[in-house]
Amino acid sequence: MTKYIGILTAGGDSPGLNAAIRGVGKAAMNTHGFKLIGFRDGFRGLMENRTVRLDGGALSGILTVGGTILGTSRDKPTKMPIGGKNKDMTDLVVENCRKHHLDVLVCIGGGGTAKNAYGLMQKGVNVITLPKTIDNDVACTDVTFGFDTALSIATDALDRLHSTAHSHHRIIVLEVMGHNTGWLALGSGISGGADVILIPEIPYDMDVVSEAIMKRFRSGSRFSIVAVSEGAMSKEIFKQLQAVKTKLEKTEDKKERKKLKAKRSELETIRSESTHKLTRELEARTHLESRVTILGHLQRGGIPSAADRLLATRLGTACADFISEGRYGIMVAARGDGVEAVPLEKVVGNRKNIPLDHPWIKTARDLGICLGDK
């Protein structure tokens, strides 16, 4: 029996998305004889019924192409921007799935996409998700595709920054993505020979960081490289955020909650600007010229690495196999060299942070890299 598969990419773009689309599509058509239809720009395109024909021609030549041929957006079915307001368009999204007689909707994205897919599942839509994000923070999978490429880009940046740091006797601070998790900063920092690595999981002490750099200076190393996650924060900001979070959990008073949310937003703004503040403070404390480089969206772009192409392709082909077996409501997770069907309820609401006893943490400490805590 022919099955009809809908497919979309949602959230931030990531290397390997086209490889995943190709993996799902070619396996679905060639091995199982299924029909495919793509939706443009994530859940918004599904809501607006904007489709893309996905046949052999459309899937040809996209394996090495960055970005996504389907386009993407961060719009959610439950909070869809319509006429300047956010509206719940879930019912229309479900209706469009039924109009196309979809047996399953494949949603390729990160944790937010899994949550949105789970919401559709609760409305009766068969869904399967594939885990992508350069942050590597999706729960219940060994790794996400997009991470390896971004890790290589960040490591290459550190390699290049070493020469200017050494030549000018500077402190060079490199900010990489990772608002809530530090996989990119930690991995690239170790691979790229950083002297200090600051990640969200370990709030840092400025005294510790500046002393680590001065210790290097006194030993004859007149430059230092600092790799920092965009979400890294000082111990002071961490304590304030935790205090606000605790109060929010305890109070039900609307006025008080409004004040606390405003305070949390203010602290998050300070946190988002912390890399520039960190750089200025390091220069003031050490009297060493300090410069900051922010990679930003460079980490998302370009040709996906071989590892990401392979991972996205094998998750995509496994997705087609699960569809043939009628297994829905799952995320196709990477597990060793194989795959695992993980129920979406285990993924939604969780995040894969770096455990403080993770081997990468131990490796960094054994190398003498300062993590800002001791």
Q: Cα separation of 43 and 109, whole Å?
A: 11
Instruction: Tell me how far apart the alpha carbons of residues 31 and 24 are, in angstroms, rounded to a whole number.
Output: 10
**Three-class SS of residue 231?**
coil
Q: Given the structure tokens 């024909």, which residue do they identify?
A: 53
Q: How far is it, in rounded angstroms, from Cα 357 to Cα 374?
A: 15
- Count CB-CB contacts under 10 A for residue 115: 17
Is the distance from CB of 188 to CB of 176 less than 8 angstroms?
A: yes
Active-site positions read 135
d(CA 333, CA 314) in angstroms, rounded, equals 10
Whose tokens are 């090495």? That residue is 64
Q: How far apart are CA 152 and CA 181, in angstroms?
A: 17
- Reading the block at residue 243, the tokens are 């205090």
Contacts of 122 (CB under 8 A, 6+ apart): none
Contact 331, 131 (CB under 8 A): yes
Rounded to whole angstroms, the Cα distance separating 368 from 370 reads 6
Q: Dihedral sign for Cα 364, 368, 372, 373, please.
A: positive
Give the angle subtended at the CA of 194 by the CAs of 191 and 196, to the nearest 5°: 135
C-alpha distances in angstroms, 183 versus 154, 189, 194? 11, 10, 14
